[in-house]
Structure 1
């Protein structure tokens, strides 16, 4: 199994994680808040089960400092190594926690690439802790969500001599910006989006920094301040930080890079005024010289320190991509190690795919003369619409701009041309009331958004979806089943709910809903761990196509708030990332190489492959699904689709 864990860059809110934790002792302390993002640099590894705890490396970047490590899975021995301060103390700390609380076996971890600079304020120690926690979690199916992995990484690191804050393990959430809030023992994480690309540069100053002294000195002001200087530290890490973080979120959401950069400079000035005087380790001569460098100033909107501050690392918000590269080159030329980070907006999903290539065997003989996607359905407004029109209106009402319909042949295209492109004859149009005449124009407008591709070989659902790969391009696309209708329980269409959730999580996404255990053998069933308290977002850990009920009951159940077992199937809507189409292409090419032109290409297997590499989110939508694929379902839909 391959894993990747990035480092992390704190954009705003350093030190407020541990400061916010002191609210357990002093309620007057304000909650901590920080904006943190994973970075593109990190740790790549291959992991597998073992009888002992083993770490190896083939990464060139750390070959000069690395020595292979192995240890028995013995709690006392692992705790001893954690306290030793040795190179592998962090890993041993996490392993000891896993053994103590989860009674796991061993793991073998081989680091294949290490692009993350060490001891530079980018949480290399936290990243290795998360890597170890994630390896145990996935290899032993512990069903920990991302926050659970983060907590264990933190608790494991606490078993060493390090006194890190909760901020460091933010690398568990991947390469995306997040707002983290720290209220005593409570931590909340919310994904953030940016309106426009933001071009960051961060650099290891290659100077000396004493993190232990910094943290020791600053913690002396907590939980109760006794002097004016300590009160000033509380203000800076409390209410003033909350105000800065709130403004930063607004600037990111509106794409105001100039104001965001100036805010970075303002935040650094506040830190220098009220926090830095509390520790001589925060005087940071090299950091401040770089921040004021006249060669850099014209290229950036602003800059500040990183992590615990001191002369560890620096970060700048460059004015544009060209300036970003110039700053990076300049810092590297002057003996530092600089890296780029571009935070990009998550694409609002603009395109959708609707596969309707099937013959509709279960609805024969009606499908001899009319495709099932044109079957009529009475609607709440009194109109009778064909299935496909209801689906297309769902998409357009959700902001979708272009739609690709996957047909079985060019002959099927004619029915779409007749309905969506050919105006009604005048004698028919005159018989309609004014409202219906206006609706006729609406139908023709929908037709202008449609594209068509064809699945000429019936080789499975995945093969059908792949026909739209060129249409999808390099963007996420929404996929709706062509024989399923949806009705929202709120004023937001189900498709819009999906799109908004995708903008938060930026991962392969499927809609899910609970089904009875007796029905699991008819569907693909997903298993995972809830990411939120409301049990609406599932971090999917496995996906099994049409399992037996006995298997699902033992391995695929998801507990609800009452502790009861539930079983989740796909609700019929997906947001597919470009990686899914790449996987489908690989699956199809492999069949060609094998000379296999018979076995179907399934979407489920491609989704599972992508899930293993990049993760998958299941989202419970607020709405109902109506199947149109068989006579009983069709009859039920016609009778109930208009019901509240």
Structure 2
């Protein structure tokens, strides 16, 4: 088939700052609400899609298939496996009036409904397929906004934290102010070593968000309360202090802030939703206290019994610790490192292009035409586009 695009979108690990994104959204009606702050990382687990131009809409993953005409797509509202895929396709085909697509999900290494932004990742991935396939020239920020629109159309009361997965892998600090987002890369002198633990439990993220939003609105009448304070002033203090610890390469201090954050969450946030009782998470936290090399253990995403994160010191025996968790608690584990060490990019474009002679006698090799998804671009612009999507460089030369 012609006009094929391939897309990978990773999951998102919220290290600190969960729920502060939607809480900061209330600044639109009450400017005294604190801004939201978070430290997030794109992880090495994600969603792999292939996309082709097609009539109507077709999506396939393993033995699950969905085939719809344009009209059928626009009226479909089923709450099933395809809910977020359909919501994203609706947004793109109604806004941009493009022809249909055929999307094949080749692989999905990202655990679903575990707090790693799987719903946002699939929304971003589908939207990026449309973007690249039809050369819509959407920025990462525009893709995020469309993915957010798609997700809330399903009834979710999420904020915009999950859509940060659109930036790919890397460590970032995010500031939320009403509907505005400020994103900056964090650079460290060493990587952070995590173990991500699948707690093998269940949670209802939509119920968690609904419960917490309801309590937050009640507290807004007085502009004070345990939840507002936890997601506001306490959260911003933790994230800003943790950011400085990373700058100072103080991994132990960073982990201590994670533990402090978790203790406050259990005391002042979890009490507002039954879904946040999380006995499996508490069992893992208690177990990890006795393991040499563990600096911190904390819930992930909206929290609950989905996933957890364990931060280790650099000398820890990662495989040995993961095997102990598997054997003792019957929980699956994934090793994950994150951190950025002042990444620079040099693109050598001088020279006369002798290997492409005689074509380069009439066109410079840097703007030599290349075909991508049926469209022609200067080769340098394709390189710059990939670097832009990565959002992981500090300097371009």
5+ residue gaps, structure 2, are: 371-375
Deviation per CA, 1:186-227: give whole Å up to 9, x if none: 122222222211101111101121222211211113345169
Query: 2:326·2:332 contact (CA, 8 Å) conserved in 1?
Result: yes
2:332 is matched with which residue: 315, 332, 337?
337
Between the aligned partners of 2:53 and 2:143, the Cα distance in structure 1 is 18
User: TM-score, normalized by length of structure 2?
Assistant: 0.86
Query: 1:52·1:72 contact (CA, 8 Å) conserved in 2?
Result: yes
- State the match for 1:450 in structure 2: none
1:231 is matched with which residue: 216, 225, 231?
225
- The answer to whether residue 26 in structure 2 is matched with residue 203 in structure 1 is no
Q: 1:37 to 1:47 in 2, by over 3 A?
A: same
Query: 1:38·1:173 contact (CA, 8 Å) conserved in 2?
Result: yes
- The answer to whether residue 167 in structure 2 is matched with residue 167 in structure 1 is no
- 1:330 Cα offset (Å): 2.2
- State the match for 1:27 in structure 2: 31
- 1:88 Cα offset (Å): 0.6
Query: 1:32·1:182 contact (CA, 8 Å) conserved in 2?
Result: yes
SS of equivalent residue, structure 1 residue 202: strand
Aligned pairs for 1:84-483 within 5 A: 84-223=78-217, 225=219, 231-293=225-287, 296-320=290-314, 322-333=316-327, 334-349=329-344, 459=355
- The answer to whether residue 18 in structure 2 is matched with residue 18 in structure 1 is no
SS of equivalent residue, structure 2 residue 225: helix
- 1:51 Cα offset (Å): 1.1
1:72 is matched with which residue: 69, 84, 100?
69
- 1:342 Cα offset (Å): 0.6
Query: 1:26·1:223 contact (CA, 8 Å) conserved in 2?
Result: no
Deviation per CA, 1:589-615: give whole Å up to 9, x if none: xxxxxxxxxxxxxxx48x847966995
1:52 is matched with which residue: 28, 50, 56?
56
Between the aligned partners of 2:54 and 2:292, the Cα distance in structure 1 is 54
SS of equivalent residue, structure 1 residue 315: strand
Task: Report 1 or 2 for greater relative contact order, CA contacts < 8 Å, sequence distance ≥ 6.
Answer: 2
- State the match for 1:371 in structure 2: none
- The answer to whether residue 44 in structure 2 is matched with residue 40 in structure 1 is yes
Deviation per CA, 1:330-358: give whole Å up to 9, x if none: 22333212111111433555x97989887
Between the aligned partners of 1:184 and 1:610, the Cα distance in structure 2 is 31
Query: 1:56·1:69 contact (CA, 8 Å) conserved in 2?
Result: yes
Between the aligned partners of 2:236 and 2:12, the Cα distance in structure 1 is 20
Between the aligned partners of 2:95 and 2:347, the Cα distance in structure 1 is 46
**Aligned residues between the structures:** 383
Between the aligned partners of 1:613 and 1:108, the Cα distance in structure 2 is 27
SS of equivalent residue, structure 1 residue 298: coil
User: TM-score, normalized by length of structure 1?
Assistant: 0.55
- 1:616 Cα offset (Å): 7.2
- State the match for 1:407 in structure 2: none
Between the aligned partners of 1:622 and 1:55, the Cα distance in structure 2 is 38
- State the match for 1:391 in structure 2: none
- 1:322 Cα offset (Å): 3.8
Query: 2:168·2:390 contact (CA, 8 Å) conserved in 1?
Result: no
SS of equivalent residue, structure 2 residue 15: strand
Between the aligned partners of 1:236 and 1:614, the Cα distance in structure 2 is 35
Query: 2:211·2:272 contact (CA, 8 Å) conserved in 1?
Result: yes
- 1:86 Cα offset (Å): 1.4
Query: 1:93·1:158 contact (CA, 8 Å) conserved in 2?
Result: no
Q: 1:355 to 1:36 in 2, by over 3 A?
A: closer
CA RMSD of aligned residues (A): 3.3
Aligned pairs for 1:563-642 within 5 A: 604=379, 608=382, 615=389
- The answer to whether residue 7 in structure 2 is matched with residue 9 in structure 1 is no
- 1:107 Cα offset (Å): 1.1
Query: 2:6·2:129 contact (CA, 8 Å) conserved in 1?
Result: no
1:545 is matched with which residue: 356, 362, 368?
368
- 1:133 Cα offset (Å): 0.4
5+ residue gaps, structure 1, are: 58-62, 359-456, 462-520, 526-543, 548-554, 557-568, 570-603, 624-644
SS of equivalent residue, structure 1 residue 221: helix
Deviates more, 1:221-230 or 1:340-349: 221-230
Q: 1:615 to 1:171 in 2, by over 3 A?
A: closer
Query: 2:42·2:171 contact (CA, 8 Å) conserved in 1?
Result: yes
Between the aligned partners of 2:105 and 2:212, the Cα distance in structure 1 is 35
